[in-house]
């Protein structure tokens, strides 16, 4: 019914309806075929993605399949996980393979011993880390950092957020009075050994209001109160 109402308004040259109708028709075609509308997300333009999400369709929500396997299958998966991966790919979903047994062992051992244990099982990172990363990808989230003499903190923002919006996650005053943001790429910060060395190497840059924050950026905001 909503599609037909939109079609009538589009016939009357309503601008919003003209933009919405192709997305609604594509979503309806998938639903009639028994397929989730999230399959459209990779084919739509950003404005069309916003329209689809605005429809609040259950099958447009992101889905993550988590497969729990024996320790021996944690690195390579097995026939069952491959079937799940095929299903997920067809649906536009993601799959993460973990071994709850390995995760339990990791949780009980010192952090310094964890990499060696993971390597023994053919893994480079824990299942929990991969699960978190997959969740971020599905939700279009990224992380930036603030680093000071007392603490370093990670802040979560939506991918595509500009510098003032990222500052607003810390405090609304930061966004309201935003001037600029000293920004260092994560790899430069780690490789060079911190802010001072990055500055000396010319890797610290000032970014303005239109800067789109990148995953891992280390930022220091300048703002008016």
> Cβ of 38: how many Cβ atoms within 10 Å?
21
pLDDT given at position 25: 87
Which of 2.60.120.200, 3.40.50.720, 3.10.20.30, 3.30.565.10 is the CATH number of 141-223?
A: 3.10.20.30
pLDDT, tens digit (0-9, with 9 covering 90-100), for 95-104:
999 999 999 9
Any idea how long the chain is? 225
| Residue 59, both tokens | 């099958």
213 and 168 Cβ atoms separated by less than 8 Å: no
pLDDT in tens, 155-187: 999 999 999 999 999 999 999 999 999 999 999
Lowest-pLDDT choice from 136-140, 179-183, 187-191: 136-140
Structure tokens at 141: 């989230």
CATH architecture of 64-138: 3-Layer(aba) Sandwich (3.40)
Tokens 């000071």 -> residue: 148
Q: How do strand 205-207 and strand 178-184 relate by DSSP bridges?
A: antiparallel
Give residue 131's pLDDT.
Answer: 95
Structural domain boundaries of the chain? Answer: 2-60, 64-138, 141-223
Tokens of 143: 């992380």
Shared fold status for 64-138 and 141-223: no
Bridge partners (DSSP) of residue 17 are none
What is the SS3 assignment for 199? helix
CA triplet 202, 203, 205: central angle to 5 degrees? 95
Confidence of residue 41 (pLDDT cuts 50, 70, 90): confident
Question: How far is the C-alpha of 203 from the C-alpha of 213, rounded, in Å?
Answer: 16
pLDDT at 209 over 80: yes
């Amino acid at each position: 019914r909503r599609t037909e109402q939109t079609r009538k308004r589009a016939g009357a040259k309503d601008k919003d309806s003209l933009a919405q109708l192709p997305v609604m028709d594509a979503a309806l075609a998938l639903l009639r075929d028994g397929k989730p509308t999230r399959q459209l997300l990779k084919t739509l333009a950003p404005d069309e993605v916003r329209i689809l999400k605005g429809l609040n369709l259950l099958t447009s929500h992101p889905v993550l399949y988590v497969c729990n396997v024996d320790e021996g299958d944690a690195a390579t998966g097995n026939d069952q996980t491959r079937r799940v991966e095929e299903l997920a790919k067809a649906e536009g979903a993601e799959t993460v393979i973990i071994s709850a047994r390995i995760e339990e062992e990791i949780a009980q051992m010192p952090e310094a011993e964890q990499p060696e244990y993971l390597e023994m099982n053919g893994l480079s990172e824990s299942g929990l880390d991969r699960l978190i990363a997959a969740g971020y990808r599905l939700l279009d989230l990224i992380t930036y950092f603030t680093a000071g003499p007392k603490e370093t903190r990670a802040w979560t923002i939506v991918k595509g957020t500009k510098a003032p919006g990222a500052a607003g996650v810390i405090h609304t005053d930061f966004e309201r009075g935003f001037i600029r943001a000293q920004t260092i790429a994560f790899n430069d910060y780690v490789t060079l050994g911190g802010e001072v060395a990055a500055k000396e190497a010319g890797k610290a840059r000032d970014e303005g209001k239109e800067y789109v924050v990148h995953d891992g950026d280390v930022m220091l905001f300048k703002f008016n109160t």
